[in-house]
Amino acid sequence: MMLPKFIPSVALAVALAIAGCQLPQWGGSLPERRPLGAEFDVYKPSGAETASLFETPTGKSKVDMGEPTGELSLRRALSLALAKSPELASFAWGVREAEAWQLQAAVPPNPELETEFENFGGSGDFRGTRSLETTVALSQLIELGGKRAKRIKLAQADSRLAGWRYEAKRLSVLTDTTQRFIAVLAIQKKLELADEDLKLASAGFDAVTKQVTAGKASLVAKTKASVEVATGKIRAARIRRALTIARHELASAWGATRPQFTRLLGDLREISAIPPSKKLVAHLDQNPELAIWAAELQQRQAALDLARAGAIPDVTAGVGYRHTRETDDNDHAIVAGVSIPLPLFDRNQGAIRKAGYSLLGAKTQRRGAEVKLHTEFEKAYQTLASAHAEAVTLRDEVLPAARSSHEASGKSFAQGKAGYMDVLDAQRTLVEVREQYIEALEAYHSAVTRVEGIIAQPLKSITKMTQKNKDTDNDK
């Protein structure tokens, strides 16, 4: 039996329409990059077949993605982290997942092909196939209420949300990697100072030993000097262990289990002026954690619209061909039908209420996110201001005084004008001040990184912009 020509033609047209749907190109769901770290390459998932490509928007990598050896700069560390971070890669595939759902949301329901055989295999006139009736029908669910368009809109909103989450994670990776780099750099500097302090303690021990031999100092001073040397060795060993841990934490930022680099390049002593708080607050709106809520509200509104559309029943329409042998001429005929559910009980009322409450809840959560972000900024800014003031005071006042005192006590001891306890006190003070200075520098740079992560923009760019505006005002 041959099927009517219109049935395979309709099925073929639907199949071709579905086959023509393609996954959106990567990056279409991503928001515009925030200024912080925008110049670095990122992990780019291009499809299920190629699960790890490190590409720029032009498709070519600008940096070597091999495991770093030798000396490592902050720029190289950030490039590696953004391109190879397992956490950021998972968020990238989350965007791809949401984009794939857009493809599914755009697909219409499948048509159904039904074949029915009646009046055969019985007795009498129905024996065998003498009275066989054959019906071939094609039916299609017709979505009403704009469900497909609303489903597509919801999927697009989901993709935008995934894009914002990816951008937030990108900034988080930047901030976290920078802070880990600063921590390693600070411990690295502390170890250098500890080795220098150990040399000072050893030199002091040698000087005291000579004084004891010459009868100019007591054995007690020699004992104290030896204790100072032992304490210095313990301190240096403790810092080395801390450095090993910090190096592993930094390497984990780009997915490495063991660091291959030898040392970090960088100078913590670089301190810049802090822009006024009001200049920085103006940039809070570009923080993804806050900007994401516009997309969140759109997504929940789209979910509510789709839930409301779900209250409208869909129609199933069908058309078919029937062939019968009950007539002398084995006649055939066209059959058609329409099926409409009656929304007496299920009007999707629960889903509508749920989506509505979710939208109202998002508006409250958005306000909470704004308050939380402003609080975090104020805390980070005050920490930055405090660390900046402490570092500057230690650099300009305390550290020079401690060095001067240590040098003076050393000269006095060599001339026999002061005891070793004076030298020891001055040396301990210098050691403490130098370590305090490194900790203040670490706190300052860590606070700068935190503030930059919150406003999603480098502080130097704001400082330059502020200075440019001042120059323009002066010209006027």
Whole-number pLDDT of residue 129: 77
Rounded to 5, what percent of the chain is helix, strand, coil? 65, 10, 25
The domain tally of the chain equals 2
Name the 3-class secondary structure at 23.
coil
The DSSP result for 276-304, as a single string, is PHHHHHTTGGG-HHHHHHHHHHHHHHHHH
Q: What is the pTM of this model?
A: 0.80
Q: How does pLDDT run along the chain (476 residues), one tens digit per residue?
A: 444 444 444 444 444 444 445 666 667 788 888 989 888 888 777 654 344 433 433 333 344 567 888 899 999 999 999 999 999 999 999 998 898 898 899 999 999 999 988 888 777 777 777 778 888 999 999 999 999 999 999 999 999 999 999 999 999 999 999 999 999 999 999 999 888 888 878 887 887 788 777 776 677 877 878 888 898 899 999 999 999 999 999 999 999 989 999 999 999 999 999 999 999 998 998 899 888 999 999 999 999 999 999 999 999 999 999 888 777 677 888 999 999 999 899 999 999 999 999 999 999 999 999 999 999 999 999 999 999 999 999 999 999 998 888 788 777 766 666 666 676 778 778 888 999 999 999 999 999 999 999 999 999 888 776 555 555 555 55
Domain-located, residue 419? yes
Domain match, 324 and 377 both: no
Predicted pLDDT at 125: 73
Q: Which residues, 6 or more positions from 49, have their beta carbon under 8 angstroms from its beta carbon?
A: none
Asked if 317 and 461 sit in the same domain, the reply is no
Residue with tokens 């969140």: 296
Q: How many CB atoms lie within 10 A of CB 309?
A: 20
State how far the alpha carbon of 456 is from the alpha carbons of 92, 125, 309, 470, in Å.
19, 84, 39, 23
Count of beta carbons in the 10 Å neighbourhood of residue 230: 12
Same domain, 150 and 163: yes
Helix residue ranges per DSSP H, 395-458? 399-414, 420-455
Q: Is residue 76 part of a domain?
A: yes
Q: Residue 330: what pLDDT?
A: 76
Rounded to whole angstroms, how far apart are CA atoms 169 and 95? 12
Q: Residue 245 falls within a domain, yes or no?
A: yes
Residue 118, pLDDT score: 86
Burial of 218 (0-12, 13-18, 19+ CB in 10 A): middle
Shared domain for 326 and 390, answered yes or no, is no
Q: Are 441 and 186 in contact (CB under 8 A)?
A: yes
At 65 the pLDDT is: 63
Instruction: Please indicate, yes or no, if residue 275 is contained in any of the structural domains.
Output: yes
Q: Is residue 117 part of a domain?
A: yes
Same domain, 40 and 177: yes
Give SS3 for 142. Answer: strand
Looking at residue 225, which CATH number applies to its domain?
Answer: 1.20.1600.10
Predicted pLDDT of residue 18:
45
Strand 261-264 and strand 70-72: the pairing is parallel
Q: Which residues contact 42 (CB under 8 A, 6 or more apart)?
A: 82, 83, 88, 92, 170
Residue 17 within any structural domain of the chain: no
365 and 393 part of one domain: yes
What are the two backbone dihedrals, phi and then psi, of residue 320, each rounded to the nearest 5 degrees? Answer: -155, -175
- Distance, in Å, from the CA atom of 73 to the CA atom of 264, rounded to the nearest integer, reads 6
Same domain, 147 and 283: yes
Q: Are residues 403 and 317 in the same domain?
A: no
Considering the domain architecture, whether residues 379 and 438 belong to the same structural domain is answered as yes
Report if residue 72 sits inside a domain: yes
Question: Do 132 and 192 belong to one domain?
Answer: no
For residues 173 and 268, membership in a common domain is answered with yes
Give whole-number Cα distances, 423 to 21, 165, 204, 357, 404, in Å. Answer: 81, 57, 8, 72, 12
Task: Give the pLDDT confidence score for residue 356 in this predicted structure.
Answer: 95
The answer to whether residue 195 is domain-embedded is yes
- Find all residues with CB under 8 Å of 251, minimum gap 6, and list them: 257, 258, 259, 260, 261
Residue 213: per-residue pLDDT: 79
Range of the domain at 174: 29-108+143-311+347-475
Does residue 351 sit in the same domain as residue 431?
yes
